[in-house]
A = this chain, B = another copy of it.
């Protein structure tokens, strides 16, 4: 097997329907395109969603951390660079850097993925060749990762109910992780759009069609916010997040 550093790059253009009411690209659109690039890269490495599904396994995004330098506008062409950046017993890590057409940094990000045994609904140990690919990494995205997203303190400042729709689901019949990102951000909007500088989100459980998700925001001082999304019926946490300088 090759010992080369493996790396993927592709571009996408921000379209008119992918912007907020101030004209800036939606973070959800950027996140969708990052995962599209990750999927294409995994496929080229022999670890596509489909090849895993054929073995009753699936890639699950566990954590998504973004440090955002600026928000692009409609018409801008964004270059995504992404690569496996390491792996341990349960997680495979993948970093990203996005650049504009003059080479300016748009954002840096790290993702943590696990492989699920679909029948047993349990993660499996990271396969040796995924570990081996991760061990070849020679580059890190410029981003600070905290070990843990802090638990919220004090009272809920804002909460919004999201009955789970068909249009919220991904191919696995669970809520698309980008939808959770939208629901986190929605609790920050009052009269104006919010474009966070930093967002760290951890996915804990799967939301299903017909359930109701409640997105809660807690203030953490200095413009920081802690978020939880819980299932209404039993309070189970679907995800937690922290947002800086929103």
In Å, the complex CA distance between A163 and B165 comes to: 13
Q: Are B178 and A17 in contact (CB under 8 A)?
A: yes
Contacts of A16 in B (CB 8 A): 35-36, 39, 49, 171
In Å, the complex CA distance between A36 and B20 comes to: 15
Q: Are B17 and A36 in contact (CB under 8 A)?
A: yes
Q: Whole-angstrom distance from the CB of A27 to the nearest CB of chain B?
A: 10
8 Å CB interface, A25-62 against B: 26, 28, 32-33, 35-36, 39, 49
* Chief secondary structure at chain A's binding surface: mixed
Contacts of A189 in B (CB 8 A): 165-166
The yes or no answer to A224 lying at the interface (CB within 8 A) is: no
The number of times this chain is found in the oligomer is 2
8 Å CB interface, A191-210 against B: 193
In Å, the complex CA distance between A178 and B15 comes to: 14
The yes or no answer to A140 lying at the interface (CB within 8 A) is: no
Given A186-B166, A189-B166, A193-B166 in contact, is the A36-B15 Cβ separation under 8 Å? yes
The yes or no answer to A245 lying at the interface (CB within 8 A) is: no
In Å, the complex CA distance between A26 and B165 comes to: 14
The yes or no answer to A211 lying at the interface (CB within 8 A) is: no
The yes or no answer to A21 lying at the interface (CB within 8 A) is: yes
In Å, the complex CA distance between A19 and B19 comes to: 20
What 16 new A-B contacts, CB under 8 Å, besides A167-B182, A167-B186? A15-B32, A15-B33, A15-B36, A16-B35, A16-B36, A16-B39, A17-B32, A17-B176, A17-B178, A19-B171, A21-B170, A21-B173, A26-B167, A28-B167, A160-B163, A165-B189
